Each structure stands twice: as C-alpha cells, then as structure tokens.
Copies of this chain bind each other. A is one copy, B any other.
Amino acid sequence: MPGEFEDYLIKKMLAEIITIGDELLIGQVTDTNSGWIATQLNLCGIKVKQITAVSDDKAHIKQSLEDSSKRADLILMTGGLGPTKDDITKHTLCEYFNTSLRFDEEVYAHVKYLFSRFGKEVSELNKKQAEVPANCKVIHNAVGTAPGMWFESSAIPNPQSLIPNPQSKVYVSMPGVPYEMKKMMEKEIIPRIKLHFKTPHIIHRTILTQGIGESYLSEIIKDWEDGLAPDIKLAYLPSPGMVRLRLSASGDDEQYLTALIAEKVNALNLLVPQYIYGYESETLEGIIGELLSEKGKTLSVAESCTGGMLAQKITSIAGSSAYFRGGIVAYSNDIKTKMLGVSENTLKEYGAVSEQTVREMAEGARKNLNTDYAISTSGIAGPTGGTPEKPVGTVWIAIAAPNITIAKKFLFGDNRERNIMVTANIALNMLRKVLVKE
C-alpha cells in the first residue's frame, strides 16, 4: 500500500548529487550542473542533502555512492561518462551493483544516427557509448551520444507488488555536458522521479532587492524577520550590488504554506518597496524588456565604463531586437563626441567621468539611435586610472527619457569586474524605476 510510506517520505525524502571529474577538483571547471539540478529537485519538493565532487577514481566514487545512499533516497550523478573519460562511471556502477556491461542496440542505433548527420561512421571508441550496466534502465540522450542510466535498489523488496515501491532507492547517472544533462533532466528524469516518489511540499519565495547592503537591510527588516512563523526559514543571498531574500517552508499543507509565505512577502513589500525590483528568477534585463514591450517603446545605450556589458545583458533576452535598437561603446573621448554628440567643451571642462558628460551621452544616444529611452555610464572601473578628485570606483549613470534626463553618482571599490557588474545592474534598475513611474 503506498499510503503506509507517505509519512516517512514527507518527512525524510532526500536527494544527493555526486559530480564526477578531476577537472572539478583541480578548479579548472566551475560546476554549474549541481546547482541547476538542485533547483530542479527543489521545484518538485525534493530537498538536497549534500553535493559532493569526487575524482575520476573507482574506489572514491564507490565510497561516495555508499555514503550518499546512507543519507538519501535519490542519488544523481553527472560526469565520468564518454570514451575520453574511459567510462569510469559505468565500470564503477557495474562493480557497485555487482553486474556487468551489456551492449544496447537502441543506444547504438542512436549513436549511429547522430554520427550519420555529420556524414561520419561510428568509431570503435564511440561504439562503447552503447555499453550500459545490465541492471539499468537506459535513459535517452536526445542531443548526445552518452545515454543516461536509471538504477533502483529496493530497501524492502516487494516482488509481488505492481505499484512502484517508493522506498527503493534510485540512482541516476547523467552526462556531464550541461546542455545534454539539462535536456535529459527536463524530458526524462524529472517525470520519472515524480512517478517514482511521493514528494513533500517545499515552497520557496525569493524577493530580489537592489540598492541596500545585507546588514543594513537586515536591520530595517528585523521586526518582520522576528515575526516569521517557526516553519519559515529566511536566507540572505548577496551578490554584487544585490541581495536576494529567500523564504522557505516545508510541510504537509501546501495551501497553508503558500498563504503563510504570501502574507510575509506582502508585508515586506510595504516595508521596503523602494529596494524590491522583482521575484524568483526574474532579471532586471528581463523586467525592463517586458516593460518596454508592453509600452511599445525603444531603448539604446551609451557605455563607457561598462564597456558593452549593458548591451550584452539587454540582448541576452530572446526577442530583445523588438525594443533594443543598439548601443555605442564609447571608450575613447572622440567617439563620445563623434557618435554621441558630447561637446568637446564638456569633456574638457568637466572630464569624461562627470554628470555633464554622462547626461550628454544618454541624450546623444537617445537622439542619434532614435529611441524613446537611453542609458549611459561613465566611470573609472579600475584597478588604476583614479585621481584624488575622482578615485577608482567613481561612476556616473544617466537615464534619458522622453521628458527628463536623470543622473546619479556612485562610489564603488577597486575591483574592476565587480564595478562593471554593479554599474550595469544599477543602471538597469534606474531605467526600471523610470519605466514603472511613466
């Protein structure tokens, strides 16, 4: 009976992620897979207990499989597949499950098909992709040659039952190439996980703030935080120029949890409306894209210190060509004059990093690129180039709108990469505030 396991699962259902590959342990590749997988699992109400990166080493992989299976019900692995990896994961899984490799004709047909599209024959090396441990269900890899593998080991074997045994542990092995892994998770693994496990309810709500540091924010919202119900957890997630607040609740009653969190989010919105720009996985470039599309308005940029990052963020949104007409990266002064019409006098009298210049840049972009709105930036990104009056980190940002141009000065630190990122984010938020008001 599925009912008898329900309580156990709601309280205890846990997953772990094991990433396999020396390249992670040597620091040459940043592991973005495990964070993405964790997000997907959370959306199905599955908590991730631990993420472990291990080397391309059989004994080490087996040890981490054993450790993980003591803590978790679902173990997801990425990497260590493919011929150049010597298929370390497949051989290890054979040893772990005390089985051997079998040749899968369907996988081989798919590998042949993928090679044929490029007019190529399958090499002996690539033929090995069709070998899988005998006890696994093969998971189709629509966009690559290494198949996924699904293993079940029953804690309480129940061969008579026709319903899936929710207490059997599941092990899934996926390729390490992010693009292949993501397609496989979305199309194949997540639906199977939902079928196999009865999952509890975990509700997350993320509030995105900009313009206030973590410690100041925590002081302002202290009473609100102290008033959180004991089943709600709050996390501060700072990133350059921004702080995300994440509320999490887990329990049996989804409706109750949702209402509880919604109430707290509303209260926060009344408390610090000036700092909140969005929710969940929204981005400033996505939000201004929606605002511009709704209003049927257009945008251009004139960048000095951000050096193209503003344009790059805006055009990272599919469909941005509908409202973004273009930008000028005016690194040298004569390009500010020639392309944006900044007067030579202004540059001589006030310098490139000044309110006057940044205003003329925004207005010039709006006029010359023929748009409704324009953003401009000018500053000293660093690490060198500062003066006593204008130290490294001095940045001016302007927004030119149909009836008004606003400009603001900021003073950041001496970290070039961070200064560029923070400037781009603040500039987008300044435009958002203008768009919301109009």
Contacts and interface: CB of A to CB of B under 8 A. Distances in A.
A147 interface: no
Given A26-B246, A235-B23, A215 B48 contact: no
B321 A332 contact: yes
B329 A315 contact: yes
A260 to B, nearest CB: 19
B326 A331 contact: yes
B318 A383 contact: yes
A27 B35 CA distance: 4
A238 B85 CA distance: 12
A36 B28 CA distance: 8
A316 interface: yes
A99 interface: no
Contact of A417 (B307, B316, B324): B316
Nearest to A35: B27
A318 B416 contact: yes
A83 to B, nearest CB: 8
A206 interface: yes
Given A30-B30, A84-B214, A331-B321, A51 B25 contact: yes
Q: How many of chain A's residues touch chain B, expressed as a range? A: 35 or more
Stoichiometry (number of copies): 2
A381 to B, nearest CB: 8
Contacts of A370: 334
B326 A327 contact: no
Given A28-B39, A326-B331, A55 B60 contact: no
Closest 10 CB pairs of A and B: A307-B315, A308-B311, A27-B39, A27-B38, A308-B312, A308-B308, A51-B53, A327-B329, A326-B335, A27-B35
27 contacts: A22-B233, A22-B248, A25-B51, A26-B38, A26-B248, A27-B37, A28-B237, A29-B239, A31-B31, A50-B52, A50-B64, A67-B67, A84-B215, A84-B218, A123-B215, A125-B218, A303-B308, A315-B329, A316-B416, A320-B331, A321-B332, A326-B332, A326-B335, A328-B328, A335-B369, A339-B339, A339-B368
Interface of A: 22-32, 34-40, 42, 47-55, 60, 64, 67, 83-84, 123, 125-126, 177, 179, 204, 206, 214-215, 218-219, 233, 235-239, 244, 246, 248, 301, 303, 306-316, 318-321, 324-332, 334-335, 338-339, 368-370, 382-385, 415-418, 420
